[in-house]
Amino acid sequence: MRTSIATVSLSGTLTEKLTAAARAGFDGVEIFENDLIGSPLGPEEIRERAGDLGLTIDLFQPMRDIEAVPADEFARNLRRAEHKFRLMRRLGADTVLVCSSVSPYAVDDDALAAEQLRRLADLAQEHGIRVAYEALAWGRHVSTYEHAWRIVEAADHPALGICLDSFHILARGSDVAGIEDIPGEKIFFLQLADAPQMALDVLQWSRHHRCFPGQGDLDVAGLVRAAVRAGYDGPLSLEVFNDVFRQADAGRTAVDARRSLTLLQEAAGLSAPPAPVVPTGFAFVEIATADTARITPLLTALGFSRTARHSGKPVDLWEQGEARVLVNTDTGSHRPDPSLTAVGLESPDPAGASARAESLLAPVLPRRRAPEDAPLDAVAAPDGTEFFFCATDRSGRAGWTGDFAPAPHTPGPIGITRVDHVALTQPWHHFDEATLFHRGVLGLRPHASVDLADPYGLLRSRAASNEEGTVRIALGVGASPTDPPARGGRPQHVALLTEDLVTTVRRAREAGARLLPVPANYYDDLAAHHTFAPGELETYRELGILYDRDEKGEFRHCYTVTTGRLFFELVERVAGYDGYGARNAAVRLAAQHALAE
């Protein structure tokens, strides 16, 4: 189906919005009245600009407070409409959005509303315009699509139809099954937006917290399926009011929006992009640093051994169990401190994973590779982290480990078995984009979003994983767009799994690992929440181990101090525990701030 986006969904000038929409691959746009009024270009110039970019102008919006008003007020409304219809002809738009009235002059009279909308449609038809009537969720008398359709049906005019808006419908909990009873030719337009479930006034919820389909909690795909079954064949158009999007780069937002529509059409059964290829594990994590003097002692203390070196690049391979860390010193001057820059994911089908990413506007990154190097495709996540699709040491495939020459080493493991999860800090403006990327491109299942208390604000975190829990990625975002480095700077971290955390921590400390000190008050509080075996809590206190428990099992974990832009977490999962110790995050954050000051 054709795709469209409302200019109100993007930041910038109208010309910048049109350019961003076209580059992202949209077929058309909805022109928001304020964007037109604020543009130095005339309607004909905007029409020409859109045409040059390959965009149609699918809708002009909005016209407000038109119907069910006193006669003198309606006369003024028709005068206003006449002017807008002439403007729309110059603009090249043939459909106008009319929102259900919120005017204090509006009366609860469906017959009057239908009669006045019929007269509006008469006027519109003279100009070759169609009127799409939409029920605002906070409309004064008309607030549901069922009610709006009854009025449109009563008006019985060929130039009058209904606009279905997923937010207005789903935010009120309306049953979308009734959409299938509306004749498809009378559904003039379909506006789509998602939103997280929030206990807010619906107007504030709508104006500030909408997001693209797949980034929230509403069943937008179910609504689209109902509209298509009814016979709707117009564009799928995004109309998203969001404070973050209004501040973000329009080009990135448009790509995120276009990706969401591709995934929405897949979920609704309307298209079939390459199938998701769900990763099965971590092949490696890559740390970039200009100087290994800070990271080498830490990896050694954590039981890793430098087992190999890349044959053509300054990259070392460190291993312990199935956990692999690449240390890359080919960083230039922009990464002097250790930073987590790339993650290798074990993929059942690396080529299929790359094809999936390409179809969702996440192109494979260019990579400097010698002829003898194994092929290894990577895509960039919204935070800049590179994700490689790997087939490590798999029979019949050229594996990436073959690019490394073995190095003499003395193993000194401390019990780490594999990478449990990675935690990636996202740009403040692109947290929802990151959620959609990890779900849609990487095929991971997002979990519920949680808020974490930080000494300088409230942080937001959301994990994504495969079903088996062998790939877990925790996405976090700072407290504000600036989030000063002096107040945390939000480093990334890598969590390493062990089957016996107490033994692993003792060995790491003996080897010189600097672990994050935990306040004594934490253990006093812990004793009030849980009952422990004799000496157990004292051991946790001694070693700086944090503890959590849920209905499935137990979780023990501790942290190294931060090195550059990176720290490690050591974790032990017992009997099916599936979380990340979120209740302990505030203690960890406070301890990290205390060390940084």
Domain CATH code at residue 198: 3.20.20.150
Residues 249 and 306 reside in one and the same domain: no
User: Does 483 score more than 60 pLDDT?
Assistant: no
- Are residues 91 and 39 part of one domain? yes
pLDDT tops 60 at residue 487: no
35 inside domain? yes
Report yes or no on 411 lying in a domain: no
Write down which residue in 373, 406, 439 finishes a domain: 406
Measured distance CA(569)–CA(446) in Å, rounded: 21
**Distance, CA of 562 to CA of 277 (rounded, Å):** 34
In a domain, 506, yes or no: yes
Question: What's the rounded mean pLDDT across residues 489-515?
Answer: 94
Q: Which residues span the domain enclosing 425?
A: 416-596
CATH number, position 390:
3.10.180.10
Question: Of the candidates 205, 237, 267, which is a domain's last residue?
Answer: 267
State whether 230 and 144 are in the same domain: yes
The stretch 491-516 carries a mean pLDDT of 96
Whether residue 564 contacts residue 337, with contact meaning beta carbons closer than 8 Å, is answered with yes
Residue 285, C-beta contacts closer than 8 angstroms, at least 6 positions apart: 324, 325, 326, 340, 342, 343, 344, 419, 422, 494
499 and 389 co-located in one domain = no
Buried b / exposed e over 147-156, threshold 16 CB at 10 Å, is bbbebbeebe
**For residues 363-381, average pLDDT:** 82
For residue 460, the model assigns a pLDDT of 87
- Find where tokens 């009025």 sit: 151
Last-in-domain residue among 406, 425, 454: 406
In this predicted model, what pLDDT tens digit does every residue of 424-470 receive, in sequence order?
A: 998 877 888 999 999 999 999 999 888 888 887 788 899 999 999 99
Number of C-beta neighbours around residue 520 at 10 A: 9
Q: What is the pLDDT of residue 371?
A: 73
In a domain, 273, yes or no: no
State residue 458's pLDDT score: 80
Judge if 24 and 147 occupy the same domain. Answer: yes
Q: What DSSP assignment string belongs to 223-273?
A: HHHHHHHHT--S-EEE---BTTTTTS-HHHHHHHHHHHHHHHHHHTTS--P
pLDDT tens-digit profile of 515-574? Answer: 999 999 999 999 999 999 999 999 999 999 999 999 999 999 999 999 988 999 999 999
Considering the chain, what is the average pLDDT of its residues? Answer: 92
Read off φ and ψ for residue 337, nearest 5 degrees. -100, 150
pLDDT category at 396 given cuts 50, 70, 90 is low
Length of the chain counted residue by residue: 597
Same domain? 393 vs 424? no
On whether both 230 and 289 belong to a single domain, the answer is: no
Q: Among residues of the chain, what percentage have pLDDT more than 70?
A: 96
* pLDDT tens digit sequence for 562-573: 998 899 999 999
Looking at per-residue pLDDT, the higher value among 207 and 493 belongs to 493
3-state class percentages of the chain: helix first, strand second, coil last, to nearest 5: 35, 25, 40
**Residue 333 above 60 pLDDT?**
no
Mark whether 448 and 576 lie in a shared domain. yes
pLDDT at 486 over 70: no
Please give the Cα distance from 298 to 253 (Å, whole number): 39
Beta strands in 26-127 (DSSP E): 28-32, 56-63, 95-99
Number of folded domains that form the chain = 3
Percentage of the chain modeled with pLDDT above 90: 80
pLDDT of residue 334: 59
Residue 119 lies inside a defined structural domain of this protein:
yes
Residue 320 has pLDDT above 60, yes or no: yes
Does any domain span residue 340?
yes
What's the mean pLDDT in 295-319? 95
pLDDT digits (tens, 9 = 90+) for 148-172: 999 999 999 999 999 999 999 999 8
pLDDT score for 485? 40
Cα–Cα distance measured from residue 157 to residue 180, given in angstroms and rounded to the nearest whole number: 20
Report the distance separating Cα 298 and Cα 237, nearest Å.
51
**pLDDT of 244:** 79
Q: Tell me, yes or no, whether 115 and 262 share the same domain.
A: yes
Residue 341 inside a domain? The answer is yes
- Contact present, 340 and 295 (Cβ < 8 Å): no
Q: Are residues 505 and 445 in the same domain?
A: yes
* Same domain as 402, residue 489: no
Residue 364 binned pLDDT confidence (cut-offs 50, 70, 90): confident
Residue with tokens 């390409």: 358
Considering the domain architecture, whether residues 206 and 347 belong to the same structural domain is answered as: no
- Compare 265 and 367 and report the one with higher pLDDT: 265
pLDDT the model gives residue 484: 45
Distance between CA atoms of residues 202 and 169, nearest Å: 11
- Output the CA–CA distances (angstroms, integers) from residue 162 to 96, 98, 121, 151, 155, in the order listed: 11, 9, 12, 10, 11
Whether 276 is in a domain gets the answer: no
